[in-house]
Structure formats: structure tokens, C-alpha cells
Amino acid sequence: MAGRTQPLVAGVVTALVGFASSFTVVLAGLRAAGATDAQAASGLLALCVTSGLAAAWLGLRYRIPMSVAWSTPGAALLVATGPIPGGWPAAVGAFLVSGALIVAAGLFPALSRAVAAIPRPIAGAMLAGVLLPLCTAPVRALVEVPALAAPVVLTWLLLHRYARRWAVPAALAVAVVAIALTTPGTGAAGGPGFRPVFELTAPAWTVSAVVGLALPLFLVTMAAQNVPGMAVLVGYGYRPPFGAGLRATGLASLAAAPAGGHAVNLAAISAALAAGPDAHPDPDRRWIASVTAGTGLALLGLGAGVATALVALSPPVLIEAVAGLALLGALATAVSSAVAEADSREAAVVTFVVTASGVTLLGVGGAFWGLLAGWLMLLLFRRRSGGPEPASDRAAGPASG
């Protein structure tokens, strides 16, 4: 009996941890891109449902634990980019373009190989620059709302030491209690209320939104989620169909975009929960965990209205602090990747600085300019060196996020 229930329990844990650990990042990103509370709740619901359906289909079709989730780094990119010319409709148009690019990467392997060929230090530095603004939120929260933030941060620290996977969900639970105790009239809060919300937005397309948001969103989702997600599965001995995974998640992204969902991708962080031995001793039975996780995530999406109402009630910096705590591990990995190779360290630093600056030029956000600046500097220094490509670069292989 234990062998039958083990993958089901692992799937439920994967869904709960995945949702609670980063839904605050998603809501912060959608609101930063111009969504109202109702549109943000709709986007979160759409992401949960489409991610769950994609995970269930991939697991049942290939009998491989291919977990699917929303793009957490992509949501952080929305925070870093902020409002774009054309407002929320232009953001929705950018989400559609990004989803179409992911489908194209699944149809044409050359495109996915081109993304994987982005130098690892540059990709890591761009991701680090995107994540930095949110990761500083816990510090700002401790200064601005110390009575609320201190218990949240202390809870995270304690469980990060002894039960790491539950650190962010527990910190979120403490934040919920703090909000309930300090916010009068919670039942009369505005926003979408507690029922599921589904609100469609007619997309608009602008050059600045496509270049400044759609392209960086596609690159971040591919480099920081899809490629590492495949690597996790390979590390556990599976041979996942990369093209099918990209097509499924790209189509899910296209379906979620009109309702406000920014991007769906293969899970990287939570993938190990469903693909590892804790899900089941028999690798051929672990797909049950990923299908269960997908079903659970879709059901959790019904609580998107409650989650959005919670965010609307709290001081913005407190929810951003919880999101920042969830992303500290990703920031550490990105920084390590950025500075790992001495020959490209300065180019990576330039990428990081330009991206983290949050500058907007010609309506295009800092992530694009950071990637461009780092790439140009990398080419400049390699040309000035006058020699062949360093051995360390050749050995590094394709970027894995």
C-alpha cells in the first residue's frame, strides 16, 4: 500500500510547495506589468490550470515525471521590467509571442540549440540582474515594516536550516497570520474577492513590448527553466523528449496568455521532488507523482482569488519579501554561474549591472540591454585576445541556465 501511495503523496507535496513557494512572485510580476487585481488573479488561475494539464498529458503520454510550472524567473523579469508602453494589453501580446517562440523551439531544434548556446556566464548574469530587485525586498521589509517582516524572515531562516523545502511556505503562512492580525476589515477587502476569476484581455503588439519583454521572457524561461528542467530528468536517468516538452509548455503558454498568464515551462526547482527516489523507489512509477502534482496545481488554481486578495491586503513590500526569500537560492545559482569563468567574468558583470539597473531605453527594458551589452563585451575581449576560444569555454558546453 505504501508503494502505491508514495508517488501520490510526493505529487501533492510537489504541488503545494511549488504553489506556495512562488505564487507571490507571479502576482507581483503580473501587477508590475499593469494587471489589475482581477487580471492578476485570472493570470494565476490560467497558469495553474494550463501547467497542470500539460504536466498530466506529458506524464500520461511518456510515463516520465515531467513536472510543469509557471516561469518564476519570468515573473521576476516582469517585476524588473515594470510597466511597458501599451500597458497590460501589450504585455499580454508579449506573453503570446513568447509562447509562440517556445513552440517554435520545440518544432525547430536549431532554435533551442541557439538558446542553449548563449554563454553560461551571460545567461546567469542576466538572470541574476532580473532577480536582484526582488531579492532585496526582505531587507527593505525589515526596515519598513519590521514587526511584520521579522517573524517572516526568522521563520524562513529556521526552516531553511532544518526543513528547507518548507521554508518559504512556512514564511508565507506567518505572513498570512501577520496580515490577518494587523489588517482591519479583511472581509471587506476590494479586488477580485475569494472566488475564481477568469478575465480575458485583447492583446496588443508593439515593437518595444516584443523586443523588451517577449524576447527576454522567452530567453529567461528557456535558459533558467526548460534547459535545467531537462537536465534534472537526465540526472535521474530519464531520456525526456525535449521537443515534446517545449511544444506542450509553449501551447500551454499560448492558452494561458489571453487570461493573463505570462509563461508555462518545464519545472526545474520542483522537478526533483517528483523525479527523485523520494517519489518512488521504482523510476518507472514516478510519473504518477508528476501527474498528481499537475492535478493538484490545477485545483490550487481555484484559490487564485484568495491568494490575490491576500496580496491586496498586505503591504506590498511584505509580499515582495516572501517572493524574495523564495528566489534567494535561484539568485545564488545565477551569480555562481555568472562568475565561474575568469575569461568572461567582466562581461558577466556588465550584463548583471545593466540588467539590474532597470533602465528603459527606446521603450525596451534592462534585461535586453544587459544581454546585448554583455554579449558585445564578450566578443570585444575575445577579439582583442587574438587567440582561439579559451579551453574553459569550449569545455563548458551549452548553457544550462
Instruction: Report pLDDT digits (tens) over 134-163.
Output: 788 899 989 988 988 899 999 999 988 888
Cβ(381)–Cβ(341) under 8 Å? no
pLDDT surpasses 50 at 391: no
Q: CB-based contacts of 369: which residues, under 8 Å, 6+ apart?
A: 354, 355, 359, 361
pLDDT above 70 as % of the chain: 89
How far from 53 is each of 118, 190, 253, CA to CA, in Å?
A: 30, 31, 11
Q: Which of these ranges, 224-228, 257-261, 330-334, 381-385, has the smallest mean pLDDT?
A: 381-385
pLDDT surpasses 90 at 393: no
The stretch 382-392 carries a mean pLDDT of 50
Of 125, 103, 44, 23, the closest CA to residue 265 belongs to 103
Going by pLDDT thresholds of 50, 70 and 90, the confidence category of residue 17 is confident
Q: Give pLDDT, residue 323.
A: 73
Average pLDDT over the chain, rounded to an integer: 83
Q: Which residues pair with 264 in a beta bridge?
A: 70
Strand, coil or helix: 68: strand
Q: Give pLDDT, residue 126.
A: 80
Helix (H) or strand (E) holding 104: helix 87-107
The stretch 365-382 carries a mean pLDDT of 79
The stretch 346-362 carries a mean pLDDT of 82
- Report how many helices (DSSP H) and strands (DSSP E) the chain contains, helices first: 20, 2
The stretch 310-336 carries a mean pLDDT of 78
Is 9 or 358 the better-scoring residue by pLDDT?
9
C-alpha cell at 88: 497590460
Is 376 or 100 the better-scoring residue by pLDDT?
100
The stretch 188-201 carries a mean pLDDT of 68
pLDDT tens digits, 208-238 = 899 889 999 998 898 878 888 887 788 778 8
pLDDT above 90 as % of the chain: 31
Q: Give pLDDT, residue 189.
A: 46
Q: Is 386 exposed, middle or buried (0-12, 13-18, 19+ CB in 10 A)?
A: exposed
Is 331 or 350 the better-scoring residue by pLDDT?
350
Give me the helices (H) in 163-303, please: 167-182, 207-209, 215-221, 227-235, 242-256, 271-275, 287-300
Q: How far apart are CA 37 and CA 31, in angstroms?
A: 7
Q: Which residues pair with 137 in a beta bridge?
A: none
Is 100 or 80 the better-scoring residue by pLDDT?
100
Q: Give pLDDT, residue 396.
A: 36
C-alpha cell at 345: 567574468
Measure CA of the first residue to CA of the last residue in the chain; give whole Å. 39
Is 305 or 293 the better-scoring residue by pLDDT?
293
Q: Give pLDDT, residue 399.
A: 34
Going by pLDDT thresholds of 50, 70 and 90, the confidence category of residue 339 is confident
Query: CA gyration radius for the chain?
Result: 20
Is 74 or 333 the better-scoring residue by pLDDT?
74
Q: Give pLDDT, residue 193.
A: 58
